[in-house]
Amino acid sequence: MELIKANGLVKRFGNTNAVKGINFHIEEGRCVALLGPNGAGKTTTLKMLSGLLEPTSGSIDFKGETAKDLRRFIGYLPQYPTFFNWMSGKEFLVFAGQLAKLNRKEAEKRSEELLERVGLTNAKKRRIGAYSGGMKQRIGLAQALIHRPKLLILDEPVSALDPIGRREVLDMMREIKKETTILFSTHVLHDAEEISDDILIMHAGEITISGSLESVMEEYRQPILQIEFESQANDWVKSIASYSFVSEVNMQGNKASIVLKDMVKGKQILLQDIVDRKLPVRKFEISQTTLEDLFMKVVKA
């Protein structure tokens, strides 16, 4: 079922269009990654969805109806969460819970649950000011979940964390995924590949590619040949670009990656070529384009 739908969302800041009329929808129960380089308009989009920023034009439907105040249904974790540093972790969660219309008892109970879940039970009485970056991210996640939102929006949830903190947050997201729909932005493609069901790729204020992770990979996947030489073989690599079955050639140092239209024919001819010319090959590998290749292609286009 369709949970949230953006219709022609535009956000203009002065003369610049940060978001240029995007349309997309998110299915209930999916984990969606919003990808894009810095400045693509990811944060602006997320803020509009979370009700923190008024779109210049366009509308957002929630469960098929044009929603006025989305904030009740959404839990949001900004890229740089901040807190009242004089509050303890527990106090902040109870405060956030009460603001989200839980009564005091419910807020207390839910806070304890979430503290347990994000592993901060031992630190709940400490001032948030004394928390580490990873702990702040976790308490931020807890406050976003306090009112059991229908949609959890996370803006770069792991970008600022060290590998351990990143692992922890990803594991938590995998748990949360079972209960609620998640939309998160990231520029770490590996994370998106790891836990998302659907992806949206944004570039310069527009959504260029969207769909389920498999279908996007399927659709844009191309066979690729990677050849590593023992010494420079630039001349040959340049010459093969003229073959009809080769669509793209990239050379980095002694490594060439060649995108092929026809793998079966291509690899035979190229192998034959290498043997005929006695080129010093160290590695000859057949693989597929990755999400990163796709991303680079979209962004550079």
Partner 1 sequence: MTHWVVLYRKEMKEMVRNYKMLWIPIVFILLGVMQPVSAYYMPEILDTFGGLPEGTIIEMPTPTGEEVLMDVISNYGLLGVFILVLSAMGVVSAERQSGVAGMVMMKPVPYSSYILAKWAGLLTITLISLFIGYVISWYYTSLLIEPVTFERIFQSVVIYSIWLAFVVTLTLLFSTIMKGNGSVAFITIFVVFAISTVTSILGEYMKWSPAMMTEYTGQVLLSGELDSNFLLAFITTMAIIIVVLFSSIQIFKQKELLE
- In the complex with partner 1, which residue's Cβ is closer, 182 or 246? 182
Q: Does 78 contact partner 1 by CB under 8 A? A: yes
Q: Does 65 contact partner 1 by CB under 8 A? A: no
CA–CA separation, 24 and 45 (whole Å): 11
Determine the size of the site formed for partner 1 (CB under 8 A): 25
- In the complex with partner 1, which residue's Cβ is closer, 52 or 281? 52
Which positions ≥6 away from 109 have C-beta within 8 Å? none
Least distance between partner 1 and beta carbon 98 (Å)? 4
Q: Does 90 contact partner 1 by CB under 8 A? A: no
Angle at 177 between CA 217 and CA 50, to 5 degrees: 90
- Over the window 182 to 211, marking each residue x when it contacts partner 1 by CB under 8 A and - when it does not, the resulting string is ------------------------------
- In the complex with partner 1, which residue's Cβ is closer, 129 or 280? 129
- Over the window 138 to 177, marking each residue x when it contacts partner 1 by CB under 8 A and - when it does not, the resulting string is -----x---x------------------------------
- In the complex with partner 1, which residue's Cβ is closer, 6 or 18? 18
- In the complex with partner 1, which residue's Cβ is closer, 85 or 250? 85
Q: Does 71 contact partner 1 by CB under 8 A? A: yes
Which residue in 29, 37, 51, 211 binds partner 1 (CB under 8 A)? 51
Least distance between partner 1 and beta carbon 147 (Å)? 8
- In the complex with partner 1, which residue's Cβ is closer, 180 or 226? 180
Q: Does 84 contact partner 1 by CB under 8 A? A: yes
Segment contacting partner 1 (CB under 8 A): 71-79, 170-178, 222-230, 242-250? 71-79
Residue ranges that bind partner 1, judged by CB under 8 A = 47, 50-53, 69, 71-72, 74, 76, 78, 80-84, 86, 95-96, 98-101, 143, 147
